[in-house]
């Protein structure tokens, strides 16, 4: 893979990327969720289907992204008095998003698309200016029309600082992006993107991270 080139030096971002690089790679596009999703609920509509983990509550459609928000759901049991503590799954239509990955997309190209989707997510959640997300490069997987990766998002940061936030202030998200097939057999420009995330402290506990990755792997277009 070609070396990464940074036009702006940000020690905190570099440290975050270094931490991301030591995380174990996860197998994307799992054959099935197994016991991790026992009791989970299938969400299915005209656009996509996915299986939510147990204890997830599906919220009304809409919100920050308007009609581009196709699903909002989460386990909200840990949210009381703790900012960013909800374990959530959302599905968005990424208008203005990157072009589809294909069989010709190499590792560098797939990583670039993942980073663009991470920036779009930061902009949508209002985190783009101070605490940018870092894509975990070892988790990026791509096949024709489908991209998977994980990213880390600081919930609080000091610009220019090399200090990483603690697990309670770092969000870990599994992402799946799928580009719909157009009537002419080509790919439409706007992918549907599933984000399954939790604070790192919850991600690491009770196999929550595994359950979120498994839920992400059930995401398919209809």
Place of tokens 């919100």: 63
- Paired tokens of 54: 């147990």
What confidence score (pLDDT) does residue 66 get? Answer: 67
Is this model's pTM higher than 0.75 or not?
yes
CA 48 remoteness from chain centre = 16
Segments making up each domain of the chain, as ranges: 45-221
**Where does 45-221 sit in CATH, by number?**
3.40.1000.10
- pLDDT above 70 covers a percentage of the chain that reads 69
CA 97 remoteness from chain centre = 14
pLDDT digits 0-9 by tens, 27-64: 333 333 333 344 578 898 889 999 999 889 888 654 44
Q: How far are the Cα atoms of 112, 131, 187 from residue 8, in angstroms, in the given order?
A: 17, 14, 34
What confidence score (pLDDT) does residue 36 get? Answer: 39
What confidence score (pLDDT) does residue 159 get? Answer: 72
Secondary structure element (H or E) that encloses residue 111, with its range:
helix 107-125
């Amino acid at each position: 893979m070609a070396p990464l080139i940074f036009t702006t030096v940000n020690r905190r971002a570099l440290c975050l990327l270094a931490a991301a690089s030591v995380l174990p790679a996860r197998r994307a596009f799992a054959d099935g969720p197994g016991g991790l999703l026992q009791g989970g609920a299938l969400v299915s509509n005209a656009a996509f289907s996915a299986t939510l983990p147990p204890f997830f509550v599906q919220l009304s459609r809409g919100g920050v992204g308007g009609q581009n928000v196709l699903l909002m759901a989460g386990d909200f049991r840990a949210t009381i008095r703790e900012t960013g503590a909800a374990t959530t799954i959302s599905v968005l239509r990424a208008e203005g998003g990157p072009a589809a990955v294909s069989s010709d997309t190499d590792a560098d190209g797939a990583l670039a698309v993942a980073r663009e989707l991470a920036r779009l997510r930061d902009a949508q959640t209002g985190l783009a200016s101070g605490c940018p997300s870092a894509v975990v490069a070892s988790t990026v997987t791509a096949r024709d029309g489908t991209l998977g990766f994980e990213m880390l998002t600081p919930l609080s940061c000091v610009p220019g600082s090399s200090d990483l936030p603690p697990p309670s202030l770092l969000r870990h998200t599994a992402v799946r992006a799928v580009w719909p097939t157009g009537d002419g057999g080509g790919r439409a420009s706007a992918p549907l993107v599933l984000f399954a995330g939790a604070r790192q402290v919850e991600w690491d506990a009770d196999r929550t991270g595994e359950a979120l990755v498994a839920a992400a792997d059930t995401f398919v277009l209809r």
